[in-house]
Amino acid sequence: MVEILLDATVRAGTPILFATLGAIINERAGIINLGIEGLMLIGALAGFAATSLSGSLLIGVIAAFVAALLAGSVHGFITVQLRGNQIVSGLALTMFGIGITALFGRSMVGLTIAGFERLTIPGLSMIPVIGKPFFNQDALIYLSFVLVFAIAFFFYRTRWGLALRTVGENPAAADTCGVPVNLYRFLAVSIGSGIVGIGGAYLSLASTPMWIENMSAGRGWIAVALVIFASWSSYRALAGAYLFGGITAMQLRFQAMGTTISAHILQMLPYIFTILVLVISTVRLAKGASQQPESLGQPYDREDRK
Amino acid sequence: MRLIAEKRENSSRLFRFSAPFVSVLIALFVAGFLLIFAGVNPGEAYVEIFREALGSSYGLSETLVKTTPLIFAGLGVSLAFRMQIWNIGAEGQIYMGAMGASWVALFSGIQNHWIMLAAMFSAAFCCGGLWAGVAGFLRAKWRVNEVIITLLMNYIAILWVDYLVYGPWKDPKGFNFPLTAQFSDAARFSEYFDTRLHSGFFLALFCALLIYLFMERTIWGYEIKVIGSNPKAAQYAGMKTGMAIFLVLFLSGAIAGIAGFSEVAGLQHRLQHGISPGYGYTAIIIAWLAKRSALGVVIVSFLMGVLLVGGDSLQISWQLPVAFVYAFQGLILFFLLASDFFIQYRVRLKGGRANG
Amino acid sequence: MLQIEKIRKTFPGVVALDSVSFSIAPGEIHTLLGENGAGKSTLMNVLTGLYRPEKGQILLDGAPVTLNSPRDSLGLGIGMVHQHFMLVPAHSVFENILLALDNIPHFFSRKTLKKKIGNVIREFDLDLDLDAPVWRLSIGAQQWIELIKLLMRNCRLLILDEPTAVLTPQESKRLFIVLGKLKEQGKSIIFISHKMREVMEISDRVTVLKKGRSLTTLQRGDFDEKRLASLMIGEDQIPQWEKQTHVVDDDVVLQIENLSVHNDRGLSDLENFDLSLKRGEILGIAGVAGNGQKALAEVLTGLKTATAGKILAGEDDITDSTAKRSYIAGIAHIPEDRKSIGIAPDMTVDDNLIMKSFKSRAFRNWIFQDRKAIRSNAEAKIDQFAIKAGPAGNPVRYLSGGNIQKVIIARELSERPAVLVALYPTRGLDIGSAEYVHKVMADGAADGMSTLLISEDLDELLKISDRIAVMFRGRLIGCVDPLKTSREEIGLMMSGEGAP
């Protein structure tokens, strides 16, 4: 029972985990990205379409990454090079994503593909309770584990990561050290968006191997809130994403058990929970437990007079 | 050689005024390519949009019907914008307003037409206001990000209304459709010219006038503008910014809530699943396009009304998904943001040398 | 070594630099002297590649160079300690320095690098913990980090933009010793200041900038304080003003007892602070920036709450924020950061002038604003304070720094306050405007207004204060009489050492 619930938790949390990691990369560079929801949809559709055309899941994942990267780079160009309002641009990206996937997804509705299958990792999967849920999963889930560590390593152990963090904290300081601020920001937005796209692909290639219009259903927004819960750390993002995976798993479990509580009420739970978590983590942040990137949301213009 | 951007000393008025319209035109152009990819002839599609929405008195009345909730929601969102507060939750506030009004219409038993409408109005006002007020309270008290809260609450509001219309409020005689019983005549707006155009439209125009006076003439409007321009300065001048944030978000949500009231009293005459097909999201674009003016909200709402009516007809004749309008709206915003840049900066090509 | 020829740079509406030329030799300390707004900082931002000039050229070792970005300048060995430090407060000292280094491989040993930085720190007798986050350090220490960043990069030309503004006189001396050592090593230093005393002390040559032009360059021995001052100010009209000897009442207007204030990070900004302010007194507060002055001003004006202690106004205890609110109306406040908290930048001068009194009957009819009254109020104030406000309806952000300051002062003094709390009111102003601000405060004192003047400019404090209190790390070190004290005595107190 615990194993089944944990397994469902990991599977439900993974798309949110990818999306949160992508959003963290954006925000670490100082750019708010409210287009996560749209990017997930773009990733989901691109991944599904490429897989059903080529028959290869790998190509599907790459297509999801590239499509979301390209869409995200529009947000990057507008907010970084053109110094446009980040909130409005992000909302525009979400709207664009919802609309364009609805348009191009018409012909994909009803098609089926063979989704990701489980790969058992010998040894590790034999650990009692947590072995199966974490090490008898599909390749994308293993990729998400790797990504969590890779991002932490990048931020805290490489000079590029240091430069990226500085760009988000104080772009002028980075600039005077010779760091090309706009390039870093643009790349962070683009690559971060690509990772969000993989989260979308998880929905259409692993969770339910098919395309459904608007299938992200608010997960992108939950990811945006989780970034604050995670206080911009990839390890805490993992914890946050699984927390939500857990809520979703329980909610599905309840429904499967045929409870008398309305499905509509149960579906509210993740959103209500996200709001609670956001409030709690903001209050905690305000008390100085951790810091958001100092220049988050502010465009950088070298020639602005201070 | 490299491209460099320089701040302009002053931008031309004409350019600033025309930018929103130019953005819409460029967005139409780019969306044309998307339509081609989707197998639709953009020329024909655009002609159809304008013919359907403006080509006949019936089409025009339908456009005004769609314009009505957009004006309310647009005014609500733009009011919060003036204070640099982002109310992304107009959609949910419309649902909650519609729910409040429907609750009065269905269960209060009031017979008098005007008392009924006043009670419905008040209920919608309070429900929409309180729904946004939650975000306002959290923002004022702990600086919780209002963008995320208002947005997540949209999902909750929609699910809540779904719960009601699929569950306790479902019309027993409704053949199991997700809708409530019809309102009594006391709870309905008058309709005009044998069309679906209802009193809500005139109420919306009146509301725009009130907001204009409120923002431009009253001491409260002044306070909101100061807080919007520089919250720290406002605090330093002794203004209670926290209270102002709560009240403005409340008012913003309340006005969006009236859109819900107007929809159920004027158009649907019942509460049902999907009462707003995304008016609350379109309102964000309207508020941004209209910059700061209440009059601008009315004009842009009409423009968006044209698009929605046209979009509906495309859905019927070309089987385009409704959500396609979102892609179009996203494009408009992108180009508007880009045009803001060209209003503020002059871009020129410059040689590698710093002399000359 | 470096030659600058006829540089021109404009910003929307202003010519910041208009044909500036000068040169610098190896092993030279070259001072740029000029009033605020003369273009010193802009010129340096051109040299470091932050700003691109429209005209003119820069020659390095005789060859023209293009500085399109800080990367180009750093590559040529030009580095700068900016007035606003370019540090990330949340990162450690080590991380801040690490980012500035360009000649290390992508995979490196943190240990050896730390050792290398440690050697430089020791060479100059400094004391820095590499693992401490920068926000924990004093502003003086942060300046050392900036310097070490440049030294680690082996810059040939170091630019220091008003480095002594945040140092005690003693710390400044130490900085000058370090600069002397660097000079011996053959490095060139551009030193920016408007403090005549320092300029005399360390400069080999001085170039005077005025209104975006380089006026002249003088060799050591050719200049003295008087000559430089007259060059710097030129024929500008300085309002004539002399301090009147006025009698300070013995009435205590404001009594602060044992006051403590904590900041967001839980550190204390003020600690057991005691002070009393008398009617008609100008009480100067001296201290290096960041020693609790801002917290003191904010707690008095109701922007912050006290964690302990009392504020008494006459007999009334006004520590509690609700009781204070009614009293605050009587306390005017000229904030430190005028653009970020003093004004609503997008609104007009008219609107900014009524920010504190928009609810007063004079400016409204019922709930509607009385635009006529607001306009005539603005006309009166613009006239009285000689504000160059531009056409009516101009947003206040288009005004110059000095005029913005005048708008704030006009607004703050319009309610005839009993107490004025002024933070660095003349910082960034040209001499004429600064004199004007001094005159306004002195006139107010003659009318019985009490002023708390917080400043880092000892000359200013000595000139107009009736009494000077010195702060260090949130505590009051002591009070001195400006007529009987010396700069050295105050300087020692500012570093927390001597007390009278």
- The one-digit pLDDT tens for each residue of chain C (500 residues) are 889 889 998 877 678 888 888 899 999 999 988 877 778 888 888 898 888 888 889 999 889 998 888 888 988 989 999 878 889 988 999 999 999 887 777 667 788 888 888 888 888 777 788 899 888 887 788 888 998 888 888 889 999 988 887 787 778 888 899 899 889 999 999 998 877 788 888 899 999 888 888 878 888 888 887 788 778 776 655 555 566 666 677 788 888 889 898 876 667 788 889 998 988 899 999 988 778 888 888 888 877 888 888 888 777 777 776 555 556 667 888 888 777 888 998 899 999 998 888 888 888 888 999 989 999 999 998 888 888 888 888 888 888 777 888 899 888 888 778 889 999 888 777 777 788 888 888 888 888 889 999 988 888 888 889 999 999 888 888 899 888 888 888 888 887 776 55
Contact A222/B at CB under 8 A: yes
Residue in chain C closest to B4 (alpha carbons) equals: C52
The C-alpha atoms of residue A127 and residue C151 are separated, in whole angstroms, by 54
User: Using alpha carbons only, what angle is made at residue B249 by residues A224 and B219, rounded to the nearest 5 degrees?
Assistant: 140
By Cβ distance, the residue of C325, C345, C367 closest to B218 is C367
Contact C153/A at CB under 8 A: no
Q: Is B12 exposed, middle or buried (0-12, 13-18, 19+ CB in 10 A)?
A: exposed
The C-alpha atoms of residue A277 and residue C15 are separated, in whole angstroms, by 52
- In the prediction, which pLDDT does A45 show? 97
Question: Token match 């063979």: residue?
Answer: A114
- In the prediction, which pLDDT does C311 show? 86
**Tens digits of per-residue pLDDT, A220-257?**
999 999 999 998 999 999 999 999 999 999 888 888 88
| Mean of the per-residue pLDDT values of chain A | 91
Is residue C467 within 8 A of residue C478, CB to CB? The reply is no
Q: Are C228 and C272 contained in the same domain?
A: no
Contact A37/C at CB under 8 A: no
Question: Token match 């802009």: residue?
Answer: C42
Distance to chain B for C66, nearest Cα, Å: 6
Q: How far apart are the first and last CA of chain A?
A: 60
Residue B218 is given by DSSP the state: B
Q: Are C211 and C263 contained in the same domain?
A: no
C340–B220 C-beta distance less than 8 A: no
Q: Are C256 and C376 contained in the same domain?
A: yes
| Residues from chain C contacting residue A177 (CB–CB below 8 Å) | 70, 74, 86, 99-100, 149
- In the prediction, which pLDDT does C33 show? 86
Domain membership of residue C318 as a residue range? 252-494
Tell whether C475 is covered by a domain: yes
- In the prediction, which pLDDT does B353 show? 41
Q: How confident is the model at residue B356 (pLDDT cuts 50, 70, 90)?
A: very low
Indicate the class that CATH gives domain A2-110+125-286: mainly alpha
Contact A5/C at CB under 8 A: no
A74–B334 C-beta distance less than 8 A: yes
C91–A169 C-beta distance less than 8 A: yes
The C-alpha atoms of residue B318 and residue B314 are separated, in whole angstroms, by 5
Question: Token match 């509705």: residue?
Answer: A109
pLDDT value at A305 more than 70: no
Tell whether C499 is covered by a domain: no
* Token reading at B312: 């509906």
By Cβ distance, the residue of B138, B285, B326 closest to A279 is B138
Sign of torsion over alpha carbons C408, C409, C412, C415: negative
Distance to chain B for A274, nearest Cα, Å: 8
- In the prediction, which pLDDT does B324 show? 83
| Nearest partner of B260 among B249, B245, B275, judged by Cα | B275
Contact B162/A at CB under 8 A: yes
* pTM reported for the whole predicted model: 0.91
- In the prediction, which pLDDT does C469 show? 93
| Nearest partner of B223 among C357, C326, C362, judged by Cα | C357
Contact A305/C at CB under 8 A: yes
**Tens digits of per-residue pLDDT, B170-181?**
998 888 889 999
* Token reading at B58: 């019936």
Q: Are C214 and C299 contained in the same domain?
A: no
* Mutate which: C19, C358, C394, vs B, most B CBs within 10 A: C358
Question: Per the structure, how many domains does chain C have?
Answer: 2
**Tens digits of per-residue pLDDT, A59-83?**
999 999 999 999 999 999 999 999 9
Q: Which amino acid is at B40?
A: V
Residue C366 is part of a domain; what is its CATH number?
A: 3.40.50.300
ipTM of this predicted structure: 0.91
| Mean of the per-residue pLDDT values of chain C | 84
| Residues from chain C contacting residue B235 (CB–CB below 8 Å) | 303, 341
| Nearest partner of B307 among B27, B3, B41, judged by Cα | B27
Is residue C1 within 8 A of residue C60, CB to CB? The reply is yes
Domain final residue, candidates C233, C267, C289: C233
How would you classify the pairing of strands C213-219 and C368-369?
unpaired
- In the prediction, which pLDDT does C329 show? 62
Is residue B265 within 8 A of residue B183, CB to CB? The reply is yes
* Token reading at C476: 């009051």
Domain final residue, candidates C202, C233, C264: C233
How would you classify the pairing of strands B2-7 and C475-480?
unpaired
Residue A77 is given by DSSP the state: I
For residue B299, the SS3 value is: helix
| Mean of the per-residue pLDDT values of chain B | 90
- In the prediction, which pLDDT does A306 show? 46
Q: Are C303 and C411 contained in the same domain?
A: yes
* Token reading at A83: 């110094």
Q: Are C123 and C271 contained in the same domain?
A: no
Q: Are C91 and C21 contained in the same domain?
A: yes
Write down how long chain B is.
356
Helix (H) or strand (E) holding A21: helix A2-28
Tell whether C19 is covered by a domain: yes
Question: Token match 């109420």: residue?
Answer: B203
pLDDT value at A203 more than 70: yes
Q: Are C52 and C143 contained in the same domain?
A: yes
Sign of torsion over alpha carbons A106, A109, A114, A118: positive
| Residues from chain A contacting residue C86 (CB–CB below 8 Å) | 170, 172-173, 176-177
Phi then psi dihedrals of residue C440, to 5 deg: -60, -40
Tell whether C478 is covered by a domain: yes
Mean pLDDT across B304-314: 90
Give residue B58's Cα distance to chain centre. Answer: 23
Tell whether C109 is covered by a domain: yes
- In the prediction, which pLDDT does C384 show? 85
B159–A222 C-beta distance less than 8 A: no
Q: Are C105 and C134 contained in the same domain?
A: yes
C86–A177 C-beta distance less than 8 A: yes
